[in-house]
Amino acid sequence: MTLSDAKRCAYLGPAATFTEAALIDLLTEHDLLDTVERVPMRSQNEMFDAVRSGEVDAAVVPIENSVEGGVPATLDALTRSGNLQIVAEAVVPVRFVLAAPPGTVTLGTLQTFGTHPHAEAQTRLWMQEHAPQAVYHPTGSTAEAARVLGAASAGGGEPTSSGPAATAGVSYQAAIGPRLAAETYGLEVLADDIGENSGAQTRFVCVQRPGLLPEPTGWDRTTVVVGLASDRSGALLEMLEQLAARGVNMSRIESRPTGDGLGLYQFSIDALGHVREARMAEALRGIHRVAGRVQFLGSYPMAAAERTELNGTKKAVDPRVADEAFDAAQAWLDEVTGG
Amino acid sequence: MTLSDAKRCAYLGPAATFTEAALIDLLTEHDLLDTVERVPMRSQNEMFDAVRSGEVDAAVVPIENSVEGGVPATLDALTRSGNLQIVAEAVVPVRFVLAAPPGTVTLGTLQTFGTHPHAEAQTRLWMQEHAPQAVYHPTGSTAEAARVLGAASAGGGEPTSSGPAATAGVSYQAAIGPRLAAETYGLEVLADDIGENSGAQTRFVCVQRPGLLPEPTGWDRTTVVVGLASDRSGALLEMLEQLAARGVNMSRIESRPTGDGLGLYQFSIDALGHVREARMAEALRGIHRVAGRVQFLGSYPMAAAERTELNGTKKAVDPRVADEAFDAAQAWLDEVTGG
Amino acid sequence: MTLSDAKRCAYLGPAATFTEAALIDLLTEHDLLDTVERVPMRSQNEMFDAVRSGEVDAAVVPIENSVEGGVPATLDALTRSGNLQIVAEAVVPVRFVLAAPPGTVTLGTLQTFGTHPHAEAQTRLWMQEHAPQAVYHPTGSTAEAARVLGAASAGGGEPTSSGPAATAGVSYQAAIGPRLAAETYGLEVLADDIGENSGAQTRFVCVQRPGLLPEPTGWDRTTVVVGLASDRSGALLEMLEQLAARGVNMSRIESRPTGDGLGLYQFSIDALGHVREARMAEALRGIHRVAGRVQFLGSYPMAAAERTELNGTKKAVDPRVADEAFDAAQAWLDEVTGG
Amino acid sequence: MTLSDAKRCAYLGPAATFTEAALIDLLTEHDLLDTVERVPMRSQNEMFDAVRSGEVDAAVVPIENSVEGGVPATLDALTRSGNLQIVAEAVVPVRFVLAAPPGTVTLGTLQTFGTHPHAEAQTRLWMQEHAPQAVYHPTGSTAEAARVLGAASAGGGEPTSSGPAATAGVSYQAAIGPRLAAETYGLEVLADDIGENSGAQTRFVCVQRPGLLPEPTGWDRTTVVVGLASDRSGALLEMLEQLAARGVNMSRIESRPTGDGLGLYQFSIDALGHVREARMAEALRGIHRVAGRVQFLGSYPMAAAERTELNGTKKAVDPRVADEAFDAAQAWLDEVTGG
């Protein structure tokens, strides 16, 4: 099945997180926003199980952050799950707002606020400058504080079965989270873009059961996980030479720990190109030969923003590794060997 | 100054975290436990500022986790801070206990518990099986819940100036955290080793102002950050060849995002060997020549556990890249060129 | 056409040279000695023209000598001629005899001897020790002296139209050359194996028009010429990495001058393996992509002696680059991409 | 001792060969033509023995020909001799003339001519077109025919003790050889530049006992011989990577047979740069570490013609491997390690 046929898409919840924002972007881009149901879930493992079982048709998860790098929980869950493939990506700016129920509080009168510890760390400098009197109260997600606050403001505020306890008398007056959360839960934005890294972005991927591979677009990314036996010196170099010999560039590489004890390293890699292009196919076959283990996680179009950046700063594919060069090499060999 | 002269060492607080456990291990190993003051701090940036200003003599931070990989906050703060060097490392098992004030509650009667969201994620399966009725309450660190609970149990429970608000009527009955936290705050352990990854470990490093480099021990690690210009294809391979040409192996490599906009990649690398060994010195000089930027973060002895593992599974240094081979090559060249 | 169908084979004459000995070996090995006519010719260019025009069906030429390395005249003529392929090889010991018409002279009474200047250089030490009184007379080939001497002894000795002048009163009494020459022209061997390098060997190749490629035998050699543009630094390394990425080893590499002026280098290469094996085919296609020019000169079985030596001292093909590994990689990729 | 102090220089004789022409060029360039005695010798081994024993102060030999590549006899004698170093090079055009005693014969009346078989091969096309009636008579060197002819013409023509027999009635009327030979022996040039490769050149090197290395000029060449153990796959690639990691380019590489039996390969290499430049020194030390054996044969200024060509077509040394980059890398490392 392709994304176009999807009816239900899971995302890392709760509602109104940056992940839901990414899913909304993806659905909008494919004109599916009105026809696809968005299903919040609690963890990558839960989501991937749901995709495999058919409970949902796709799942959207964060894979890489411009400040923190790769997202370990996603990379590891993808590696462990098997039988899943990335079919699309979206890049979303990480932009925090401070919000409260309309008319209840101002920056000057704010006494307490809630958010996830990561978001608190990224907005601490701004809060210390603009509302130094406000005391921090940790919550389980960036959207959770907004949800609880909105529910309490609306007169509810009961705990959900899957979430943390929250009393009707909520212990904080404002929430820090994505603008989508403020909008979703009817809060008023007191301040916008209060994070330290104002240009921060997160890259999200959409995962489905293996089936029809997305068509090459000329601006694609391929994600693989490669396991290397540690007892062969230079194994990483040897693996990279399989990419280099075919002119394949990488946009991300990370050595990942394995749970299988010592002596086995694995690398999570994003490479530029599509497995239906000759240079990528031959490079992956080469890695399959020399590495202990390789897992193909998908070839998919880059997000529009990424394509634009590459367009401006990089050259097109080296003609020596374009499909035409591979075809010409095969034709030459056929001719000289009478093949 | 060396670690032996240190009087005050900072660690990522609050007290009784895994980081303090690592610091205690390091001090014990150097017979410094009774003479060095342990100072909890709130963030890597705060700690590194304190080291640079001389407010403390050293700082201990997590750098790599066997489940999640490199610790972005540490790697980035080290890269950005400059003028700091790693002088030692310690490896600590990540082992969670469930603890409560003595005699107050049992697994069967537990209604609420507090911990950091990461720790909750890693112990969720165990809790759902053994105390499914208990509701989760997020806190700001793994030790925070224990501290608050211990303080309330002792009759106090006031908020600290740097921490989140906590009322005398604490909203949870038990805490999940390191054993050190339970011991520190006078809690009783209800269950031990309740995490999903029972073999998980975190590697911590001790950072000081640059000064006397630790002596080579034969089992050392060198940490560097290398920035590569993106407009030169194969730049990563070229950099790795500088290591390979001198037979230097890596134990960790991660591509790291930079905040400086697009077009500049940087790699955080742990390599095996000491900069006072010829192969490492020559490799680093080579990287300095070919890379846009390289930052030396220290050469330091591996933790004892790591040495033992390498001892068992790997060969000693290839004789072709041992210091003796470099000396012999220099002697040969001097002789044949009359140098 | 294959060697089995050949009726006329040219060799670098005159008759009874080491090249004819190689041709005799090859024909004997294929049970063709009685059915194939051996045709002496004067130069590589003449022979290759004759093969291309169909005047002969094959040509045997020296390609590599264990003392002097590659034979430039052959390598260059092969490169320039085009439309020819090597289909077989033979290795012949280079062993010189001193011979004279029966009963005419002894080592002690010898006053003059004739041979090609190269053979004189390789036997000078022996002659100075055993017949220091004998004066050297240069001739145009190692067999020429024996031919002239035999003809004179038989009462003839007239000059040939294509050869050097020789008078009925030949100016030398003995000849140094291959044993085959002594036998062919009815001379008596005065001394055997008088060269300096008693283990010297020459490798000869048999060249035909392109047609049916010899089948892979598991012990094959492939010969190519690769032209590299000089303005790309590291071009040679890049080309060798195309071989290394597929685990292809070389048995000979020589940089060759080109007549086309400066700035273009070319390399004559013998690699181990057959173009019908996946590793060699992919490596040659890779070289075709990255190099300015590549010429395929054939895949052919090694001489029996070479196979034996490799058998004893080297491992079989690395399983990671055997055809089975390439097939497995293709099957894996087809499966994971739904191909 | 340096070339400037030389009193006697050997060359590959006899007199008036291309090798003597190269020696004359070298002596002229150093203003030594009037003070240095030129001593013809018969072989590379004889010359190198004479240099080592002090009988002569230097020896000039051909090392590379633009048509035939490396000169095996020179490369092997240099490799085997040890304790010798190349201190200079000269490049001489290979240009053949046809010459005879003045007034004795014309192209139309020429019946016989003498020369070395190599020279006959390179002038055969011209002779067949312009003097098809002339019969070839082989001689031992390109200058020998001219010498004999000149001596006979002068009324002498006796054999020398080291040369082949020649009767007063010389059996040929004209000689093909270098213009220097015609001039030396008083012959008249009947035709000039009659070789097939009118742009052909030979590179000659001047060899001395090791002593003061020539100073770097910025346009230098370094010659080495590297022996590789055959039982390590990729040994050649590994060796070339030692050059590539320091940005050292090659101008010639040839695999050379060894007389030591099978399983040991050696490579004769000319690399661009001087051993007193950091990139070359470090690369050679690297090769010393990884290769089984390496022999340094000298760093010396390129011939003026070669410098001119490189000047026009190539960039200067890559700034990343210039001495300044090595110095900067060392300074950086000293600073960051407190060295």
pLDDT by position in tens, chain B (length 339): 577 788 999 998 888 989 999 999 999 998 999 999 999 998 888 999 999 999 999 999 999 877 667 787 788 888 887 789 999 999 998 899 999 999 999 999 999 999 988 888 889 889 999 999 999 988 888 888 899 899 888 764 443 433 333 334 678 999 999 999 999 999 999 999 999 877 788 899 999 998 879 999 989 999 999 988 654 446 778 888 899 889 898 878 887 766 554 445 688 898 989 999 999 999 999 999 988 788 999 999 998 777 765 555 454 678 888 899 999 999 989 888 875
Task: Give the number of other Cβ atoms within 10 Å of residue C126's Cβ.
Answer: 17
Q: With 80 as the cut, is the pLDDT of residue A215 above it?
A: yes
Q: Which residues of A touch B121 (CB under 8 A)?
A: 43, 73
Residue with tokens 């009955």: B173
What does the alpha-carbon distance between residue D274 and residue A123 come to, in Å, rounded to a whole number?
Answer: 58
Return the closest-CA partner of residue C8 out of C63, C50, C62, C61: C50
User: Hey, is the C-beta of C135 within 8 angstroms of any chain A C-beta?
Assistant: no
Q: Please give the residue of chain A at the shortest CA–CA distance from B259.
A: A67
DSSP C3: G
Residue with tokens 């462990």: A80
Q: Which residues of D touch C136 (CB under 8 A)?
A: 140, 164-165
Q: With beta carbons less than 8 A apart as the criterion, state whether A89 and A207 touch.
A: no
Average pLDDT, chain D: 84
Return the closest-CA partner of residue C174 out of C106, C96, C95, C94: C106
For residue B82, with 0-12 CB atoms within 10 Å meaning exposed, 13-18 middle and 19 or more buried, which class applies? exposed
User: Hey, is the C-beta of A315 within 8 angstroms of any chain C C-beta?
Assistant: no
User: Hey, is the C-beta of D165 within 8 angstroms of any chain C C-beta?
Assistant: yes
Based on its alpha-carbon atoms, the radius of gyration of chain D, rounded to whole angstroms, reads 23
List C-alpha distances in Å: C186 to B255, C101, C152, C164: 78, 7, 11, 21
Q: Which residues of D touch C171 (CB under 8 A)?
A: 165
User: Hey, is the C-beta of A289 within 8 angstroms of any chain C C-beta?
Assistant: yes
Burial of B91-123, coded b for 16+ CB within 10 Å and e otherwise, reads: bbbbbbbbbbbeeebeeeebebbbbbbebbbbb
| pLDDT-wise least confident of C48-62, C120-134, C230-244 | C230-244
| Cβ contact, residue pair A244, C241, below 8 Å | yes
User: Hey, is the C-beta of D32 within 8 angstroms of any chain C C-beta?
Assistant: no
| Cβ contact, residue pair C261, D164, below 8 Å | no
Q: Which residues of D touch C257 (CB under 8 A)?
A: 64-69
DSSP C45: H
Which residue of B254, B272, B311 to mutate against A (max A Cβ within 10 Å)? B254
Instruction: Work out the minimum CA distance from A338 to partner chain B, whole angstroms.
Output: 35
Q: Which residues of A touch C285 (CB under 8 A)?
A: 326, 329-330, 332-333
Which residue of C240, C255, C266 to mutate against D (max D Cβ within 10 Å)? C255
Q: Is pLDDT larger for residue A161 or for residue D41?
A: D41
Q: With beta carbons less than 8 A apart as the criterion, state whether A66 and A48 touch.
A: no
What does the alpha-carbon distance between residue D126 and residue D194 come to, in Å, rounded to a whole number?
Answer: 6
List C-alpha distances in Å: D8 to A235, A290, C11, D41: 56, 59, 46, 12
Alpha helices per DSSP H over chain A: 18-29, 44-53, 72-81, 117-130, 144-153, 179-184, 235-244, 278-290, 304-313, 323-336
First-to-final CA distance of chain C: 39
Return the ∠ at Cα B70 (arms to B64 and B74), rounded to 5°: 85
| Cβ contact, residue pair A325, C289, below 8 Å | yes
Q: Which residues of A touch C333 (CB under 8 A)?
A: 275, 281, 284-285, 288, 296
What does the alpha-carbon distance between residue C301 and residue D60 come to, in Å, rounded to a whole number?
Answer: 42
What does the alpha-carbon distance between residue A120 and residue A194 come to, in Å, rounded to a whole number?
Answer: 10
Q: Interhelix angle for A278-290 vs A323-336, to 10°?
A: 70
Q: What letter represents residue A74's amino acid? A: T
Return the closest-CA partner of residue D272 out of B278, B325, B287, C236: C236
Q: Interhelix angle for C278-290 vs A323-336, to 10°?
A: 120
| Cβ contact, residue pair D211, B289, below 8 Å | no
Q: Which residues of C touch D123 (CB under 8 A)?
A: none
Instruction: Work out the minimum CA distance from D301 to partner chain C, whole angstroms.
Output: 19
Q: Please give the residue of chain C at the shortest CA–CA distance from A224.
A: C336
Instruction: Work out the minimum CA distance from B121 to partner chain D, whole angstroms.
Output: 41
pLDDT in tens, A20-77: 999 999 999 989 999 999 999 988 889 999 999 999 999 999 998 776 677 877 888 8
What per-residue confidence (pLDDT) applies to C292? 75
Residue with tokens 């591996």: B302
Q: Pull the structure tokens for residue C27.
A: 């024909």
| Cβ contact, residue pair B213, D333, below 8 Å | no
Q: Which residues of B touch D299 (CB under 8 A)?
A: 337
Chains near B with 3+ CB pairs less than 8 A apart are A, D
| pLDDT-wise least confident of A207-221, C137-151, C159-173, D201-215 | C159-173
Q: Is pLDDT larger for residue C273 or for residue D79?
A: C273
Longest dimension (CA), chain B: 85
What per-residue confidence (pLDDT) applies to A190? 96
Q: Pull the structure tokens for residue A249.
A: 């560039």
| E-only strand ranges, A144-240 | 174-178, 188-192, 201-208, 220-229
pLDDT in tens, A154-172: 764 443 433 333 334 678 9
DSSP C338: T
Q: Please give the residue of chain A at the shortest CA–CA distance from C288.
A: A329
Return the closest-CA partner of residue B252 out of B63, B76, B124, B116: B63
Residues whose CB is less than 8 angstroms from the CB of residue C329 and which lie 6 or more positions away in sequence, other chains included: A284, A285, A286, A288, A289
Global ipTM: 0.81
What does the alpha-carbon distance between residue B290 and residue B283 come to, in Å, rounded to a whole number?
Answer: 11
Q: With beta carbons less than 8 A apart as the criterion, state whether C261 and C332 touch.
A: no
User: Hey, is the C-beta of D136 within 8 angstroms of any chain C C-beta?
Assistant: yes
Q: With beta carbons less than 8 A apart as the criterion, state whether C1 and C51 touch.
A: no
DSSP H/E element including C306: helix C304-313
pLDDT in tens, C261-280: 444 568 888 898 999 999 99
Residues whose CB is less than 8 angstroms from the CB of residue D28 and which lie 6 or more positions away in sequence, other chains included: none
| pLDDT-wise least confident of A127-136, B229-238, C204-213 | B229-238
Q: What is the dihedral of CA D109, D115, D117, D121, to 10 degrees?
A: -50
Q: Please give the residue of chain C at the shortest CA–CA distance from A287.
A: C329
Q: With beta carbons less than 8 A apart as the criterion, state whether A84 and A78 touch.
A: yes
Interface of C with A in 222-241 (CB under 8 A): 241
Interface of A with B in 137-156 (CB under 8 A): 137-141
Classify the C-alpha dihedral A149-A155-A159-A163 as positive or negative: negative
Task: Transcribe C194-250 into DSSP letters.
Answer: -SS-TT-EEEEEEEE-S-SPPPP-SSEEEEEEEEEETTSTTHHHHHHHHHHTTT--E
Instruction: Work out the minimum CA distance from B3 to partner chain D, whole angstroms.
Output: 16
Q: Interhelix angle for D44-53 vs D72-81, to 10°?
A: 30
List C-alpha distances in Å: C38 to C12, C53, C87, C203: 10, 17, 17, 19
Q: Interhelix angle for D278-290 vs D323-336, to 10°?
A: 70
- Number of inter-chain CB pairs under 8 A, B vs D: 81
Find the CB nearest D112 among C120, C165, C253. Answer: C165
List C-alpha distances in Å: A200 to A91, B45, B102, B261: 10, 19, 46, 10
Average pLDDT, chain C: 84
Find the CB nearest C338 among A212, A281, A282. Answer: A212
| Cβ contact, residue pair D259, C197, below 8 Å | yes
Residues whose CB is less than 8 angstroms from the CB of residue D68 and which lie 6 or more positions away in sequence, other chains included: C72, C73, C257
Question: Band of the pLDDT at A258, cuts 50, 70, 90?
Answer: low
What per-residue confidence (pLDDT) applies to C159? 38
